[in-house]
Structure 1
């Protein structure tokens, strides 16, 4: 598998310090079975990809941030283990790594298709799906995209690729290997728009002068914590973790630190 791998081990105090607003009371102790299920190697392997606030970005102080990054460190604190951070080029690679047991934890779009391969908690964040267009584009809204001659970039292997390929009647989907490549293609006018969740789109727009996120949306993503199949002994503890971080402000702190935009009212189930 083609991936960028960086392993960062942090002590428990350092992990706790990463989260502003982290709970100060000791977390509930996991059973040995739950700890072994969620971190079978004695560490929590957190899968991330760079460029998405829901996964990992660099904050205003030059430090790593992101919902997956911060929640992974917080779960490690709960479990009393260290973190091994593994970086991939795109979300599809993170999911593939989780399917074969190379990753223990990530935070991503909880689709029915992915739920066949990994376990999800309840959805914690909902994001609008939209389009980013380059400076000078005549496109003004999401409703104008599906026209003859329009080429829309998507992350290779992403949910967006599958959905839009099935949905479009005239526009053409153009898979991109990385977010960096997509930004370059937009700037060079080799694609007319890039489609994904608005959290990523606003992050990309910050680095592309004149680029705009179009009005309107073509869908919603419901993001949740994901763990590999076969770890059922840890699911009850993980569900408690998910409910707690949503209630105590830890999730909101991670969202704010990552600069995540484009959120909608979270779905429930």
Structure 2
């Protein structure tokens, strides 16, 4: 069996890079060049398989998942999720990323159970792991979807929502730089 052919039937390893997750990838808008752990792993995999590589840039995890249906990529770096697993085969995890909530300082939310109440509105990035998880698990709160995970904080602020859900590190960084959250 030719493992390179299994990974990359076109002969080039086409790797989906989600630039919406700053923990995994940084992206220079001017040059169009991504950087970060997913790019390093992708390059290592291509080297190991002796294949040329093509990095395919996506603005969100939801866009990466949509692109699998068109056969646009061979390898991607996504959070495991049962819904995604219907169309994507996952490897063992290579990194642990924590999800978290961003709330206003005067919020009464102290734990997850406080958030899942009627009338509570939560901003999430459409198709992100947090959207998928919360869609399955919330029973009372309402999700409001931004086009991307970074856009969830903007939506939270613009629409005066109760909570923003996303990756812990960027939410913590945002809170450290802005009063009131």
Scaled to the shorter chain, the TM-score interval is: 0.7 to 0.9
Taking the TM superposition and a 5 Å limit, the aligned residue runs for 1:117-266 are 117-134=87-104, 136-143=105-112, 144-196=114-166, 200-207=167-174, 209-210=177-178
Which position in structure 1 is the counterpart of 2:25? 56
Paired with 1:137 and 1:87, the residues of 2 have a C-alpha distance of: 38
Instruction: Return the TM-score normalized by structure 2.
Output: 0.79
Equivalent of 2:38, from 61, 68, 86?
Answer: 68
Shift of 1:211: 6.8
Instruction: Return the TM-score normalized by structure 1.
Output: 0.56
Task: Provide the alpha-carbon RMSD of the alignment.
Answer: 2.8
1:84/1:100 CA distance change after superposition, 3 Å: same
CA contact (8 A) 1:52 1:66 kept: no
CA contact (8 A) 1:46 1:72 kept: yes
Paired with 2:3 and 2:62, the residues of 1 have a C-alpha distance of: 27
Paired with 1:131 and 1:124, the residues of 2 have a C-alpha distance of: 23
1:211/1:41 CA distance change after superposition, 3 Å: farther
CA contact (8 A) 1:58 1:64 kept: yes
1:48/1:55 CA distance change after superposition, 3 Å: farther
CA contact (8 A) 2:100 2:171 kept: no
Shift of 1:139: 4.1
Secondary structure at 1:85 match in 2: strand
2:78 pairs with 1:108? yes
